[in-house]
Structure 1
């Protein structure tokens, strides 16, 4: 059994109609005019410059902690009683004791004194942050 094939005369107009429909749909997908693109780019650059100048204008707050004032505690056995004196001597507003393998947050707080203790319970380091 043979199926009737589409005559050649009908295939050509169908291809032309499909091509015309494709061209019409592609012409409707134009992007914004070059002037609109330039204006959008200019506005974005101005916004970036304004944000950068605002960020540069606000200096970070000065840190009140000075760990160099308490470095004499390195090598001494850690005791809870040294916290208040170390905090005062360093000019810190907060003290954090860091023990071996203890998970700690990584945010920097310039007013905080960190006292690092080793496995033997000795003060191994002091730093602000």
Structure 2
């Protein structure tokens, strides 16, 4: 009788432990480098914007030259998120919408 309990216990332990392991592939999609592009922001390439009036055209030119995927103009009173994104260009402007600083993030 004790042998039956030991065998049953071993089988149950193996079943419980096998439920903890997973052989499935991760669910995250795989994006190739060609699809994503480099997307890295190079702020030095967009420094030409410093001293200029902020506009949609200037923002797009700076985004393209920096290689960033996204770009935004930030004024002193704007609320911003704190996450760092290596694919985003920030054009920091003063109260008169003159670009004072260029950075990535």
TM-score by length of 1: 0.50
* Matching residue of 1:97: 73
Say which one has the larger Rg: 1
Gaps of 5+ in 1: 1-61
* Matching residue of 2:3: none
Give the Cα separation in 2 of the matches to 1:114 and 1:94.
9
* Matching residue of 1:66: 42
Deviation at 1:104, TM superposition (A): 0.6
* Matching residue of 1:121: 97
Deviation at 1:70, TM superposition (A): 1.0
Deviation at 1:80, TM superposition (A): 1.4
Give the Cα separation in 1 of the matches to 2:61 and 2:51.
16
Give the Cα separation in 1 of the matches to 2:47 and 2:104.
11
How many residues are aligned here? 68
Q: Give the secondary structure class of the aligned counterpart of 2:101.
A: strand
* Alignment map for 1:1-129 (pairs within 5 Å): 64-129=40-105
Gaps of 5+ in 2: 1-37
Deviation at 1:84, TM superposition (A): 1.5
Give the Cα separation in 2 of the matches to 1:78 and 1:105.
20
Q: Give the secondary structure class of the aligned counterpart of 2:41.
A: coil
In the TM superposition, structure 1's runs of 4+ consecutive aligned residues that sit over 4 Å from their partners are none
* Matching residue of 1:59: none
